[in-house]
Structure 1
């Protein structure tokens, strides 16, 4: 069978908005069908489904709270069912662990509840969601875990968030090693500051913050969602098949 009759299927968490939306659309433009997840923005998720379909690909939106690991087994079963009903297949090809939240608080003021929330979503969520989906990922498939430039450079108030993403980067290397025998490559993609509604759209809407970030970025501007979506699609393209266990920062050269 040819690639045209068996398109790749990518599962993108948090695909209803921001970087996840951009990733879903970039992958669709590259020829992939898409399963995207949303936590509460069902209408936005279905709007992305329609945009994917307008690009000639198939898409399905499924609800998922990546901070609630007790529901991951049921989610995996839902993915299994939608693969069978929509694609008549048992496996999907690419997993993008993108869904997340931002939180800014100094170390002295960070609560255990905030710390646990970040851990459940970013670190525990990535670990156990991937674990539950492994039986559904095709041999030779790909996983991309989204980290942050803040795991390399520092801004006050992001210690807990960046620590979780640092854990994701270590986890990525272990995943790459353990899943290598199945031909599954696993990489981390670390965005710099991007103009989205993340943390209330501060980078996008605060002109002073935007100008400061542009000033410490080699390419002289703040990142856009399509900068990240395009980079994820490139990392999942055929030409990147020999890359695994790597951290790839997509920040325009921020804080070099």
Structure 2
């Protein structure tokens, strides 16, 4: 068993890409903190899956914490909860990897975007990433890694996602500035940009609607829709020593959509 295990914090880790990332990190011997907004049961199920994976390897630890990325005023309190979890579960005051994955969507044509939806998307995808990362920096170990989750739609435009994709575009710019300013601490920062993935995001459209699947497949070089197992292992690889010289980059994982 590792004396000083690596620890990753994954926001939105109870489902979809966050869940898949947590499982792949556990398989690589990394302990995880996953956050959830609504379903504690789903998050605890991820914890149990990670523990089961870990027991087969070297005996990992995992915990689930509640976090609402739309509630900016609660970030200070959440950071304190993270600090307590690190002390209680791992007897440490630092962790190694931060994956800013929590997401939400409110599809609407440009002319019908509401201020309420715009503010929620801004909070979840941009403002919370700025201020959560800022508050967690004292807990993030020197030489650590940050991965910000963006979208392939910062490169290609799809009607109905202007507000969502704009927030992700801001995240990609933020990633470069974070990489520069955190570089002196040896912390690398990168953004990944998944294409359409078969999860419950976007109302499960890519997973459940044949017409959407056909459209994505027809416009993707590799000829299919993405699945979580296309993304989670890639994020895990970014957090490995193999990617130690990579920082400030936008890395698209889309199977070649709309080339």
TM-score computed with the length of structure 2 as normaliser = 0.97
Map of 1:145 onto structure 2: 148
Map of 1:81 onto structure 2: 84
Unaligned residue ranges in structure 1 (runs of 5+): none
Q: How big is the alpha-carbon RMSD for the aligned residues of Structure 1 and Structure 2?
A: 0.8
Which whole-Å deviations, capped at 9, do the CAs of 1:227-246 have from their partners, x for residues lacking one?
A: 11111001111100100000
Query: C-alpha separation between the residues in 2 aligned to 1:215 and 1:234?
Result: 29
Unaligned residue ranges in structure 2 (runs of 5+): 55-59
Equivalent residue in structure 1 for 2:20, among 19, 22, 36: 22
Q: Could you say what secondary structure the match of 2:258 adopts? A: coil
Map of 2:164 onto structure 1: 161
User: Displacement of 1:55 after TM fit?
Assistant: 1.1
Equivalent residue in structure 2 for 1:239, among 232, 238, 242: 242
Query: C-alpha separation between the residues in 2 aligned to 1:136 and 1:65?
Result: 20
Which whole-Å deviations, capped at 9, do the CAs of 1:182-219 have from their partners, x for residues lacking one?
A: 00000001100000011211111110110110111111
Query: C-alpha separation between the residues in 1 aligned to 2:3 and 2:46?
Result: 23
Query: C-alpha separation between the residues in 1 aligned to 2:28 and 2:255?
Result: 23
Which whole-Å deviations, capped at 9, do the CAs of 1:30-78 have from their partners, x for residues lacking one?
A: 1100001000110000000000000122100000001111111111111
Map of 1:35 onto structure 2: 33
Map of 1:182 onto structure 2: 185
Equivalent residue in structure 1 for 2:98, among 87, 95, 109: 95
TM-score computed with the length of structure 1 as normaliser = 0.98
User: Displacement of 1:4 after TM fit?
Assistant: 2.3
User: Displacement of 1:152 after TM fit?
Assistant: 0.6
Map of 1:200 onto structure 2: 203
Equivalent residue in structure 1 for 2:227, among 221, 224, 229: 224
Map of 2:136 onto structure 1: 133
Map of 2:114 onto structure 1: 111
Query: C-alpha separation between the residues in 1 aligned to 2:145 and 2:175?
Result: 12
Which whole-Å deviations, capped at 9, do the CAs of 1:92-149 have from their partners, x for residues lacking one?
A: 0000000011221111011111111100110101101101111000000000000000
Query: C-alpha separation between the residues in 1 aligned to 2:2 and 2:103?
Result: 33
User: Displacement of 1:8 after TM fit?
Assistant: 0.4
